[in-house]
């Protein structure tokens, strides 16, 4: 399965496509120096294929590349960070 994650700033979300179809997204709010992930969703027909983890990894890598602090209001993103300590340093402390 060919996958790609792209930022769609007009919709305030990162979108994951699988074989050209929208498979999921992670919604966010952006402010100076920080990004708040509010909701992550994978389409039911794409669940159980590891796409949620692929999406989480991509959005967190993007935040790191852009120098953004992360607020993980989304339970999926928060859980992913808990399980992957290499992303702990992105969490905002305020």
| Burial zone of 7 (CB within 10 Å; 0-12 exposed, 13-18 middle, 19+ buried) | middle
Over residues 78-93, mean pLDDT: 96
Q: pTM for this structure? A: 0.95
**pLDDT tens column, 72-82:** 999 999 999 99
Question: In the chain, how many domains are there?
Answer: 1
Contact 51, 19 (CB under 8 A): no
Residues above pLDDT 70, as percent of the chain: 100
Residue 15 has pLDDT above 90, yes or no: yes
Cα atoms found within 13 Å of the Cα of residue 78, Cβ hemisphere only: 9
Residue 9 has pLDDT above 80, yes or no: yes
CATH of the domain at 21: 3.40.630.30
What pLDDT score does 93 carry?
Answer: 81
Give me the domain span that covers residue 49.
3-90
From CA 21, how far away is CA 90, in angstroms rounded?
Answer: 30
């Amino acid at each position: 399965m060919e996958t790609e994650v792209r930022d769609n700033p007009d919709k305030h979300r990162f979108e994951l496509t699988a074989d050209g179809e929208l498979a999921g997204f992670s919604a966010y709010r952006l402010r100076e120096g920080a990004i708040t992930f509010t909701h992550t969703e994978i389409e039911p027909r794409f669940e159980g294929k590891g796409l949620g983890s692929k999406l989480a990894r991509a959005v967190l890598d993007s935040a790191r590349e852009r120098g953004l602090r992360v607020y993980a209001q989304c339970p999926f993103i928060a859980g992913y960070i808990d399980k992957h300590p290499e992303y702990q340093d992105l969490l905002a402390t305020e």
